[in-house]
Structure 1
Amino acid sequence: QSVVTTFILQRFTDDPWLQEALFCLFFTLFVVALMGNGLIIMAIYSSPNLHTPMYYFLVNLALLDVACISTVLPKALQSLVAENTISFGGCLTQMFVFSWLLGSELLLFSAMAYDRYLAICQPLHYGILMSSRVCVSLASFVWSTGALNSLLLTCLTLPLPTFVSDVMTIITDMFLTGLNFLLTMTSYSFIITSILRIQSAEGKQRAFSTCSSHLVVVTLYYSTVLYTYIRPVLGSAGLLDKVAAILYTTVTPSLNPLIYTLRNKDFKASVRKLVFPK
């Protein structure tokens, strides 16, 4: 009921030694995320052989990860070394951008799962069903729907009491998260069924390698995001809340480049050409 102009952001801890340790950890993860995702974008852009739907969506994921970690981590770093405040407008802006990125990432995971489903289950029609036009349309839908969802959530926080806002946020986000989770799992149920039907062990391994990285990232991301959405109903869990927030805002963007490229021979070859040109 009062006019709010500034929020004081609470620190992770008041222990000076732990503050320094967390600052070094977060800063390292920040640099790793920027360099790793930046390398993904440059390598794919400069390698014509990687201009395929799978890598097109991977570039979108890298952009989302860079934007996500750049939205929240600088303020977290500042709070570890100095008193940290944020204006009311700045808080709303950060909330809108952050919610936009998280919602878009959920949608992008579904698009990536659909791409892998077509590649494995419909290989003869893959070129038509996942054309350049379809890829651009899917990416546009991902970014625009994420923005619309975030705008709705941000507007809900303005005039309503906290309890009503929490309930509406949970309903909206659980619908977005639950629907995308269902679509992703449905795609992978078809993918796994198709892989099991492959006769040769080599064929099974090759097919599974094209989607295993995405499945690992989805599992890590959804486990933390679902906890965050359900947590308001369960009540605050203190340290566990902070760990979950760190995982999906900082650790996941840092690990994604490593997970997606660790076993990818084509990408590693493109990186070597980019870093060590002849």
Structure 2
Amino acid sequence: MSAAEHGNRTPASSFIIVGFETTWAMEIFLFILFLCMYVVTIAAHIMIIALVIVDMGLQKPMYLLLANFSVAEIGYITATAPKMIDALLTRNKEISYSACILQFYCFFAFGGTENFFLVVMGYDRYVAICHPLHYQRIMAKKNCLRLTIGAWTSGMLASTSPTLWVSTLNFCYPNYIEHFFCDYAPLLKVACEDTSKGEFAFTVVSWNIILGCFFLTLLSYGFIIFHILKIPSVEGQKKAFSTCASHITVVSIFNGTIIFMYIRPTSTIRFTTDRVISIFYCIVTPLMNPIIYCLRNKDVKNAVRKILQNILCRYIIRK
């Protein structure tokens, strides 16, 4: 039910993010939990970016794309987590109209960019495994830069149209957003005008980006699996699969929750349940991704080990 159906058409210049309606003690617990998760996530992604910049062994397309993906992840989690964490501690759940629209744009822009980078990273693995002799030519620095710019540009532009449309809506009291951030469906519920046409347009954009990117990634891995199965040795198959395992895991977790949340009719949305599910793709997934890439990637682990050894040697020499 929209704000218009409540009968109060007084324009709202700010919103109240409901968040997690629970006890003060539980909110303090959630504050500590989410703050720790946010700090660890930011630190882990900064570590990946720093490793790629510092270690020459990671100056490869696969890791350059991973570093850009980490930048997008930092923007993605930062779009929602700080306000949620602040609201849990201070209980100040008000957010201004402009801040809400900015949060809406950043969340979908960085989320869309992640989707595009997952496609590019899948294509990189496809070329590396299916066309290894042509890898250096196909994924040359110039082409890698074009793919990177394309992913960033596509993600930023894809969110522009929905944001501009939402910014033209009139919002009325009661101005409660039944979520912990300015998400699409909870925000439209506060609108005091017909949003059906805009909802349809948003659905089309969401389906094209989410399902389109997911299909292209699956297509890359379809060719990869077909190629791997033709490798005669079991050891060779395992080695080929190991180079893709991290990316497959990230794609499965990220797209699984995103598809469930946004590829469905708005009439089926249950905001209380969605708040819990949203935690997984807003907070948990950005935390898990660097852990997955680091634990399952020998090059990253070797780079970390090398840096730690250098730090230890310098410490011993100074002593």
State whether residues 195 and 208 of structure 1, in contact with CA within 8 Å, keep that contact through their aligned partners in structure 2.
yes
Q: Residue in 2 aligned with 1:42?
A: 50
Q: Residue in 2 aligned with 1:5?
A: 13
Q: Residue in 2 aligned with 1:120?
A: 129
Q: Residue in 1 aligned with 2:257?
A: 224
Partner deviation per Cα, 1:68-88 (whole Å, 9 max, x = no partner): 111210111112121221111
Q: Residue in 1 aligned with 2:276?
A: 243
For residues 261-272 of structure 1, the aligned pairs below 5 Å read 261-272=294-305
Deviation at 1:170? 1.3
Deviation at 1:236? 2.4
**2:130 is the alignment partner of 1:108:** no
Number of positions where the alignment pairs a residue of Structure 1 with one of Structure 2: 278
Q: Which runs of 4+ in 1 moved over 6 A?
A: none
Name the % identity.
Answer: 35
Partner deviation per Cα, 1:174-217 (whole Å, 9 max, x = no partner): 11111111101110000011111111111111110111110010
Deviation at 1:276? 3.3
State whether residues 245 and 296 of structure 2, in contact with CA within 8 Å, keep that contact through their aligned partners in structure 1.
no
- Tell me how far apart the structure 2 counterparts of residues 2 and 198 of structure 1 sit (CA, whole Å): 67
Q: Residue in 2 aligned with 1:69?
A: 77
For residues 42-191 of structure 1, the aligned pairs below 5 Å read 42-81=50-89, 82-159=91-168, 161-191=194-224
Deviation at 1:231? 4.3
Deviation at 1:153? 1.1
For residues 195-210 of structure 1, the aligned pairs below 5 Å read 195-210=228-243
State whether residues 113 and 187 of structure 1, in contact with CA within 8 Å, keep that contact through their aligned partners in structure 2.
yes
- Tell me how far apart the structure 2 counterparts of residues 170 and 2 of structure 1 sit (CA, whole Å): 28
Deviation at 1:240? 2.5
**2:49 is the alignment partner of 1:16:** no
Deviation at 1:234? 4.3
Does the residue aligned with 1:13 lie in a helix, a strand or coil? coil
- Tell me how far apart the structure 2 counterparts of residues 141 and 221 of structure 1 sit (CA, whole Å): 20
Deviation at 1:17? 2.6
Partner deviation per Cα, 1:247-273 (whole Å, 9 max, x = no partner): 111111101111011122221111122
- The structure whose residues are more often helix, as a share, is 1
Deviation at 1:275? 2.9
Gaps of 5+ in 1: none
Deviation at 1:117? 0.3
Higher Cα Rg, which structure: 2
CA RMSD of aligned residues (A): 1.5
State whether residues 48 and 70 of structure 2, in contact with CA within 8 Å, keep that contact through their aligned partners in structure 1.
yes
State whether residues 227 and 244 of structure 1, in contact with CA within 8 Å, keep that contact through their aligned partners in structure 2.
no
Q: Which moved more, 1:119-128 or 1:261-270?
A: 261-270
- Tell me how far apart the structure 1 counterparts of residues 164 and 47 of structure 2 sit (CA, whole Å): 36
Deviation at 1:92? 1.0
Deviation at 1:2? 5.0
Deviation at 1:138? 0.5
One-letter identity of the residue aligned with 1:268: K
State whether residues 10 and 79 of structure 1, in contact with CA within 8 Å, keep that contact through their aligned partners in structure 2.
no
Does the residue aligned with 1:14 lie in a helix, a strand or coil? coil
Deviation at 1:243? 2.2
Partner deviation per Cα, 1:125-156 (whole Å, 9 max, x = no partner): 01101111111101101111111111111012
* TM-score relative to the length of structure 2: 0.84
- Tell me how far apart the structure 1 counterparts of residues 239 and 141 of structure 2 sit (CA, whole Å): 24
Does the residue aligned with 1:197 lie in a helix, a strand or coil? coil
Partner deviation per Cα, 1:66-109 (whole Å, 9 max, x = no partner): 11111210111112121221111111111111111011111111
- Tell me how far apart the structure 1 counterparts of residues 60 and 246 of structure 2 sit (CA, whole Å): 17
Q: Which moved more, 1:12-21 or 1:115-124?
A: 12-21
State whether residues 166 and 232 of structure 1, in contact with CA within 8 Å, keep that contact through their aligned partners in structure 2.
no
2:37 aligns with one of 15, 29, 40? 29
